[in-house]
């Protein structure tokens, strides 16, 4: 799946009604006493690694390579802070420790790769022209460098670091989404999915913590906004059994051409707007 357009934005703006604020440290302590297992988050691997990468290594230099040691230190620090708050992590990776999976995605993935190549080309041209001497160079580089991707060796480095810290890693045969939901009921202590994919807001049986809503400081309890399909549906004034209809009407990177071609939303009287900057529909 490729996510549901605009759902991340909606849930972020309506987090007070679409989620509950949970002290994961307190919940973990209670879970240890009652079940003997620490609270465990199931991480959508590449979303999690990218979050650590982006927050700790924000420099545009990563487009041309970077310091893997810095990534390793940041990852160790993040895991240590989680454990200090009583929270464990299991990391799920897509096939082949980096494959982006389904052939249905090929058109969208090709488009993303072209955009990344164009971004790196602009960056190289900017540096070649000597504009790095200009006072506003940092701003210009950040504007260009929006299409970050994990550098080639970053995944290998991250896997090595996670294994060193005894973090369990599961490599899935297909995309990780369905495996994450299934394993919520199988892994002892599993509490919620950690990631960024908007599909998780709607998937039956899923508790979902978007990475931006996880509070990890190392100086206090680990807390989070925890979303569920029931709360999201309630915030939309829908019954939860109609969320799949919402997903179909909003569309995603695979279904957009069908939605647009047949004017599905307009035919039902639902206003749509496409953002020129983000390509979203509302």
Query: What is the average pLDDT value for the chain, to the nearest integer?
Result: 79
Task: Compute the average pLDDT of residues 44-72.
Answer: 73
At 83 the three-state DSSP class reads: helix
Are 63 and 120 within 8 A, CB to CB?
yes
Residues 6+ apart with CB under 8 A from 92: 42, 43, 44, 45, 170, 171, 172, 176, 179, 180, 183
Are 31 and 38 within 8 A, CB to CB?
yes
106 band by pLDDT with thresholds 50, 70 and 90: low
Pairing type for strands 87-93 and 39-44 reads parallel
Greater confidence (274 vs 264) lies with 264
Per-residue pLDDT reduced to its tens digit, 148-207: 566 667 788 889 999 999 999 999 887 788 899 999 999 999 999 999 998 899 998 899
100 band by pLDDT with thresholds 50, 70 and 90: very low
Task: Compute the average pLDDT of residues 255-273.
Answer: 58
Task: Compute the average pLDDT of residues 99-114.
Answer: 59
Kindly tell me if the per-residue pLDDT of 3 is higher than 80: no
- Distance, in Å, from the CA atom of 197 to the CA atom of 7, rounded to the nearest integer, reads 10
Per the listing, tokens 């979203």 go with: 280
Tokens read off for 130: 């000597």
End-to-end Cα distance, the chain: 19
- Distance, in Å, from the CA atom of 18 to the CA atom of 213, rounded to the nearest integer, reads 12
Nearest alpha-carbon partner for 39 in 165, 174, 192, 152: 192
What pLDDT, on a 0 to 100 scale, did the predictor assign at position 259? Answer: 60
52 band by pLDDT with thresholds 50, 70 and 90: confident
* Distances, alpha carbon 140 to alpha carbons 66, 131, 144, 147, in Å: 19, 9, 6, 14
Beta bridge pairs of residue 87? 39
Greater confidence (29 vs 175) lies with 29
Per-residue pLDDT reduced to its tens digit, 198-246: 889 999 889 999 999 999 998 889 999 999 999 999 998 889 888 888 8
Are 93 and 124 within 8 A, CB to CB?
no
Q: What domains can you pick out in the chain, each with its CATH number?
A: 7-267 (3.40.50.1010)
Ramachandran sector of residue 187 (left: φ over 0; alpha: ψ -120 to 50; beta: rest): beta
Kindly tell me if the per-residue pLDDT of 9 is higher than 70: yes
Pairing type for strands 168-171 and 190-195 reads unpaired
Helix (H) or strand (E) holding 215: strand 214-215
What pLDDT, on a 0 to 100 scale, did the predictor assign at position 66? Answer: 56
Alpha helices in 36-105 (DSSP H): 45-56, 68-84
What pLDDT, on a 0 to 100 scale, did the predictor assign at position 208? Answer: 97
Helix (H) or strand (E) holding 141: helix 137-144
pTM score of the predicted model: 0.78
Greater confidence (159 vs 250) lies with 159
């Amino acid at each position: 799946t490729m996510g549901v357009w605009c759902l991340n934005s909606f849930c972020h703006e309506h987090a007070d009604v679409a989620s509950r604020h949970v002290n994961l440290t307190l919940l973990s302590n209670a879970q240890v006493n009652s079940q003997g297992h620490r609270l465990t988050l199931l991480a959508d691997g590449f979303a999690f690694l990218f979050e650590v990468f982006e927050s700790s290594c924000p420099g545009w230099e990563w487009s041309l390579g970077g310091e893997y040691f810095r990534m390793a230190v940041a990852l160790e620090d993040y895991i240590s802070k989680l454990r200090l708050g009583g929270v464990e992590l299991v990391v799920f990776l897509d096939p082949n420790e980096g494959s982006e999976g389904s052939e249905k995605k090929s058109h969208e993935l090709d488009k993303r790769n072209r955009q990344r190549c164009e971004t790196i080309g602009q960056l190289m041209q900017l540096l070649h022209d000597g504009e790095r001497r200009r006072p506003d160079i940092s701003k210009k580089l950040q504007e260009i460098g929006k299409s970050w991707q994990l550098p080639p060796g970053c995944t290998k480095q991250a896997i090595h670091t996670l294994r060193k810290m005894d973090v369990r890693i599961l490599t899935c045969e297909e995309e990780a989404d369905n495996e994450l939901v299934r394993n919520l009921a199988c892994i002892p202590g599993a509490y919620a999915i950690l990631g960024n994919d908007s599909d998780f807001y709607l998937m039956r049986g899923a508790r979902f913590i978007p990475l931006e809503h996880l509070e990890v400081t190392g100086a206090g309890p680990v807390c989070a906004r925890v979303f569920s399909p029931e709360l999201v549906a309630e915030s939309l004034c829908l019954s939860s059994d109609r969320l799949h209809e919402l997903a179909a009407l909003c569309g995603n990177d695979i279904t957009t051409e069908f939605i647009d071609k047949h004017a599905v939303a307009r035919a039902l009287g639902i206003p749509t707007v496409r953002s020129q900057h983000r390509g979203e529909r509302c």
